[in-house]
Amino acid sequence: MTTRLVIANWKMNGDLALIDATVEAYPQVSKVDVILVPPSLYVAALLAAANDRFQVGLQDIGRHDGGAHTGELAASMAAELGVAAVIVGHSERRADNSEDDAIVAAKAQRVLEAGLMPVICVGESIEERQAGQAEARVRAQVQAQAENLRSRLPVAIAYEPIWAIGTGVSASVVDAVAMHRAIRSALEQIAPDHADEMRILYGGSVNAENAAELFAHVEIEGVLVGGASLDTDQFAAIIRAAGAAQG
């Protein structure tokens, strides 16, 4: 069975005290991969505290690899620091910064070139779901990453229905599993020889209560956790649920 991956996206939240508290509450679970993704300013502090128990990621990256781009960060810089993964295409960035699939693909490419793992977020809006277009929308977002997906380098896809992010309303497990299967079939069409090496994560109001139910399904190979990752006990419980599902 694929090793489950649990990613914490702190978004623009957290402080040094949260790093201490997260490390303090961090559970003894060996069979789960965990990546903590704080605001970039806290990456160095989190890396120093990691002690090989978890890895550290970035929430976004510049689409250039250096140069005159004030305020941007390059994937190669993240690699030099010891960052393991970079989230690209989060729906909040797509909405707040007008990032389209082409920009997301360029960022994922920079991440791969730097030897890091992109966590590529895809997901439909509530209007698209209500119109019966959820699967087509998500397949199109995956297809837009085809070149990156064919690279044979580690990639994770995070299915995050926009209407489930930060709302407390998670997708039903049935809907999440169905979409994970659709994504898996899209990956198999794009990269038949190594699609099985890519993990598909679910994100959208994952918490200590629903994590075990999600992990009960082999299709849910990990989770991307926003709000609940700021609650150190809840986040520890989610990691434990992933470990228990791993057996």
Active-site residues, by number, are 90, 160
Q: How far is the CB of 231 from ligand PEP (least distance, A)?
A: 11
Angstrom distance (rounded) from CA 203 to CA 122? 10
Specify the residue, 39 or 166, whose C-beta has the smaller distance to ligand PEP.
166
Q: In angstroms, what CA-CA distances link 232 with 7, 59, 123, 164, 169?
A: 13, 19, 26, 21, 21
Q: Residue ranges of the alpha helices (H) in 31-133? A: 43-50, 75-81, 91-96, 101-113, 126-130
Judged by DSSP in three states, 94 sits in helix
DSSP per residue over 3-29, as a string? PPEEEEE-TT---HHHHHHHHHH----
Q: Which of 54, 121, 104 is nearest to 83 (CA)?
A: 54
- Select 112 or 119, whichever has its Cβ closest to ligand PEP: 119
Least CB distance to ligand PEP at residue 76 (A)? 25
Cα–Cα distance between 12 and 42 in angstroms, integer?
11
Q: How far is the CB of 220 from ligand PEP (least distance, A)?
A: 13
* 141 vs 205, beta carbon nearer ligand PEP: 205
SS3 content of the chain, % helix, strand, coil (to 5): 45, 15, 40
Question: Of the two residues 94 and 240, which places its CB atom closer to ligand PEP in the complex?
Answer: 94
CB of 6 to ligand PEP, least distance (A): 12
Residue number with CB closer to ligand PEP (223 or 245): 223
- Minimum CB–partner distance for residue 150 and ligand PEP (Å): 26
Kindly give the pairing relationship between strand 33-37 and strand 55-58. parallel
The CA distance from 18 to 63, in Å, is 29
Q: Which secondary structure element, helix H or strand E, spans residue 100, and what is its range?
A: none
Residue closest to ligand PEP (Cβ): 226
Q: What residue ranges bind ligand PEP (CB under 6 A)?
A: 9, 160, 165-166, 203-206, 224-228
